[in-house]
Structure 1
């Protein structure tokens, strides 16, 4: 969680507290706090982008930083007097300018995520929420789940798939690998028919998950394809709802 601690340090340096920063950028305090606690890679792309804009940094910078070096630099910077802090800032800006002149290549997971929001020569499609791996790390329903439009390259998706699906959802966990990979989109067709073996999008205890349904007598199990994750046994007193089947 070193990157998240670095992000928290930047937020507090800019606004004093995480709550004040959340108000400044128009993002719920609980959402920002959740990102700092769960990890940047488990967060919605649009929320990470909003935070980075508020800090005037590029999203990919969070993936490329040397955590130990940044931590030491921040500690030293805080101890300097204001005039010397300004000297350090001016030098850092000059170094960034030189670096950008040499290369503009980006290599990070955020580039992969962000490219879907480039609207040039893209196919629009409806997206809702995100889903995570395993119990408790999926997208919770009170985390500002919204319906929005994302854009895919024509070469990346089959037109028939788009016609079959009702919406897509971003996968930010590895519980269904190797079939459904993390940091990709899954396409979903709405259905309320529960069938054995159906790979489905479900809500379990206010958490959105993709799991394979296993029916044993009158019991329902939610199975991960990745053997590292345990099967979830749906209890009668727990919330469970089938949203749709994965059609990709």
Structure 2
């Protein structure tokens, strides 16, 4: 049985083209100051640097943050980079980057009848309650991660 591709080639009206691989560039700004998967670090005035992360970050990524600490293990580890989509609010149970009283955290947001809490995945850490008197801000939602060592030129 003759295949359609063979008929096209024999007709001399078709010639296969070689594929050219085009590199995928995806520049993303990553903060130098790590967010805390523990007791908290400050992020707002942190130095930032742009890296070409290619396929490592989801397309919707607005920025990346370094992770420090073990409170979000087993999912997030020290020296991972979390990819963030900027958002002013998150749904209950979503993991995000939060500013609370001078520190920045990666935590899971829980809106309970008795208050709002930032929850660690690691059970050895207690929930952090967000009080009305606290200085609190949501930077965005965590939409992915990679190991810092996977990013070319990242240190």
User: TM-score with structure 1 length normalisation?
Assistant: 0.44
Q: Is there any run of 5+ residues in structure 2 with no aligned partner, and where? A: 1-24, 145-155
How much has 1:235 moved relative to structure 2?
A: 1.5
**1:131 and 2:27 correspond:** no
- CA–CA separation in structure 2 for the residues paired with 1:212 and 1:225: 8
| Structure 1 residue 212 corresponds to structure 2 residue 108 | yes
- In the alignment, which residue of structure 2 is the partner of 1:39? none
Runs of 4 or more, structure 1, over 4 Å off, are: none
Note the C-alpha offset of 1:149: 1.2
CA RMSD, aligned part only?
A: 2.2
Tell me by how many angstroms 1:133 deviates.
2.5
Aligned equivalent of 1:149, options 44, 47, 50: 50
Identify the structure with the greater helix proportion: 1
Partner of 2:137: 241
Please give the alpha-carbon distance, in whole angstroms, between the structure 2 residues aligned to 1:125 and 1:134. Answer: 25
How far the C-alpha of 1:147 sits from its partner, in A, is 2.5
RCO comparison, higher one (Cα < 8 Å, 6+): 2
Corresponding position of 2:88: 192
Q: Which has the larger radius of gyration?
A: 2
- Cα deviation for residue 124 of structure 1 reads 3.4
Larger strand fraction of residues? 2
Length-normalised TM-score, structure 2: 0.69
Q: Which ranges of structure 1 fall in alignment gaps of 5 or more residues? A: 1-121
